[in-house]
């Protein structure tokens, strides 16, 4: 009897956990990439799931990966057909250039192409001054834009190109967020994936070639769809790359690689790891979730996320109705605010029903009382009758 009670208690406890934790099949051992760069992150472009990270939220210098942010900011806030007049300040900007001449007029779209494909610092300065009047005002505006639109947390830019400044920093994760956000825009996606472009400048007629060796095909990886390189002495080599295979669309960010070769080797290893070991799954719209107060929540649409193949998944609902999808090692794969089915007010009202009201709304306790009373009366009558016979 004691064993039966223990089994029943165990069943009740397990059942009470079901609304909060749902597990898939047992996960398998996967060889984690041996990343030599100082920081790296691999994310799914569509679901936002983090597949790998190393120092991904450590502040670092991005170098020319800054230009991805400048490009999407210019695309979304400017007019691509605007003619931009190149200033003396833009002409004198150092580092990699597209050799703009002072007074030259170039469309904003052409400047963005020169910025991303050939990493033109002079194009970056011309864009900043056209959009906001000065580089300083541009910095204030793009920082606000990145926080509001992209949701970056540890990014602060002082210029549009990434030339070194101690106060110009970001993280691998924030750069992944910027790339993910920008890839939703078809204009950005086209330029980000351009391998070469005819450039007809006032003083420089040439063909621009992407600096990204994987995009150009010099380092073979057929799935690559876009990329941006970066380098200054203080940041070392930095790399942002996008790739697609089937349902998986991935972004790899690599920062602080001591050599260019290391940045590419790490990127290839990240993509191999991602495409070989991960798959897209979803939580259905119909699946209910119950919190500790018995409030019922549901998704308004299916929630896609990326997980390891055969990975054990944990679904956690907090008391604010936020659903977190956690991987087997505690990685946050995705999170979503759910919609409540039963408002708390209605639940509170139900909790305050008096015993008398409960009897009115639920007739079962009253019926049981009548049955027990009837049995008691019959038993009492039999007892009295037996007492009379004995006397």
Cα separation of 195 and 211, whole Å? 9
Residue 309 a catalytic site member: no
pLDDT confidence of residue 333: 76
Nearest Cα to Cα of residue 212 among 268, 168, 172, 270? 268
pLDDT confidence of residue 372: 54
What is the helix (H) or strand (E) element at residue 381, kind and residue range? helix 364-390
Residue range 180-234, pLDDT digits in tens: 999 999 999 999 999 999 999 888 889 999 999 999 999 999 899 999 999 999 9
Question: Residue-wise pLDDT tens for the chain (391 aa)?
Answer: 444 344 333 333 333 333 322 323 334 567 889 999 999 999 999 999 899 999 999 999 999 999 999 999 999 999 999 999 999 999 999 999 999 999 999 999 999 999 999 999 999 999 999 999 999 999 999 999 999 999 999 999 999 999 999 999 999 999 999 999 999 999 999 999 999 999 998 888 899 999 999 999 999 998 999 999 999 999 999 999 999 999 899 999 999 999 999 999 999 999 999 999 999 988 888 788 887 778 888 888 888 888 888 888 888 988 788 898 888 888 777 888 888 875 544 444 333 434 444 444 444 454 555 455 566 565 556 655 665 555 4
pLDDT confidence of residue 3: 43
> What are the CA-CA distances from residue 103 to residues 70, 122, 206 (Å)?
22, 13, 20
pLDDT confidence of residue 220: 93
pLDDT confidence of residue 206: 93
- Answer yes or no: are the C-beta atoms of 257 and 239 closer than 8 Å: yes
Residue range 287-335, pLDDT digits in tens: 888 877 788 888 888 888 888 888 888 889 887 888 988 888 887 778 8
Cα separation of 114 and 116, whole Å? 6
Cα separation of 322 and 311, whole Å? 22
- Answer yes or no: are the C-beta atoms of 324 and 68 closer than 8 Å: no
Which residues are paired to 289 by β-bridges? 297
Cα separation of 143 and 162, whole Å? 14
Q: What ranges do the domains of the chain cover? A: 39-278
- Quote the strand ranges of the chain, DSSP E: 39-44, 50-54, 83-85, 105-107, 196-200, 205-209, 224-232, 236-245, 248-257, 278-283, 289-290, 296-298, 303-308, 314-317, 322-326, 332-337, 339-340
Query: Catalytic: which of 37, 119, 210, 249?
Result: 119
The topology (CATH level 3) of 39-278 is Beta-lactamase (3.40.710)
pLDDT confidence of residue 329: 80
Query: Catalytic: which of 37, 49, 64, 210?
Result: 64
Residue 67 a catalytic site member: yes
Query: Catalytic: which of 36, 54, 67, 109?
Result: 67
pLDDT confidence of residue 263: 98
Contacts of 142 (CB under 8 A, 6+ apart): 69, 70, 73, 157, 160
Nearest Cα to Cα of residue 341 among 283, 261, 271, 286? 286
Helix, strand and coil content of the chain, in percent to the nearest 5, comes to 40, 25, 35
Indicate the pTM of the whole model.
0.77
Nearest Cα to Cα of residue 201 among 43, 91, 89, 349? 91
- Answer yes or no: are the C-beta atoms of 35 and 129 closer than 8 Å: no
């Amino acid at each position: 009897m004691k064993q039966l009670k223990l089994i029943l208690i165990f069943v009740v406890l397990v059942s009470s956990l079901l609304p909060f934790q749902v597990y898939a099949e047992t996960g398998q051992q996967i060889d984690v990439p041996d990343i030599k760069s100082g920081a790296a992150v691999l994310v799914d472009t569509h679901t936002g799931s983090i597949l790998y990270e190393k120092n991904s939220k450590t502040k670092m210098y991005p170098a020319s990966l800054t230009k991805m942010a400048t490009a999407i900011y210019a695309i979304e806030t400017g007019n691509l057909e605007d003619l931009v007049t190149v200033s003396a300040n833009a002409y004198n900007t150092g580092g990699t250039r597209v050799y703009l001449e002072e007074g030259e007029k170039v469309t904003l779209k052409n400047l963005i192409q020169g910025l991303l494909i050939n990493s033109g610092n002079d194009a970056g300065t011309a864009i900043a001054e056209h959009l906001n009047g000065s580089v300083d005002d541009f910095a204030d505006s793009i920082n606000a834009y990145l926080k509001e639109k992209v949701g970056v947390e540890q990014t602060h830019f002082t210029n549009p190109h990434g030339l070194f400044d101690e106060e110009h920093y970001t993280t691998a994760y924030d750069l992944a967020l910027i790339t993910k956000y920008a890839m939703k825009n078809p204009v950005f996606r086209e330029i980000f994936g351009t391998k070469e472009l005819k450039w007809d400048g006032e003083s420089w007629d040439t063909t621009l070639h992407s600096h990204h060796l994987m995009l150009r095909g010099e380092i073979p990886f057929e799935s690559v769809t876009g990329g941006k390189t970066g380098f200054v002495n203080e940041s070392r080599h930095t790399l942002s790359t996008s790739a697609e295979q089937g349902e998986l669309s991935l972004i790899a960010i690599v920062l602080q690689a001591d050599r260019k070769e290391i940045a590419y080797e790490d990127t290839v290893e990240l993509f191999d790891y991602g495409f070989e070991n991960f798959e897209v799954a979803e939580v259905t719209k119909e699946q209910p979730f119950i919190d500790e107060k018995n409030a019922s929540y549901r998704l308004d649409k299916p929630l896609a996320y990326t997980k390891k193949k055969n990975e054990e998944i944990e679904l956690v609902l907090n008391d604010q109705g936020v659903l977190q999808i956690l991987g087997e090692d505690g990685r946050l794969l995705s999170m979503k605010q759910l919609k409540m089915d039963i408002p708390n007010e209605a639940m509170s009202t139900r909790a305050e029903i008096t015993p008398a009201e409960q009897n009115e709304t639920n007739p079962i306790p009253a019926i049981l009382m009548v049955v027990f009373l009837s049995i008691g009366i019959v038993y009492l009558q039999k007892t009295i009758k037996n007492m009379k016979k004995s006397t």
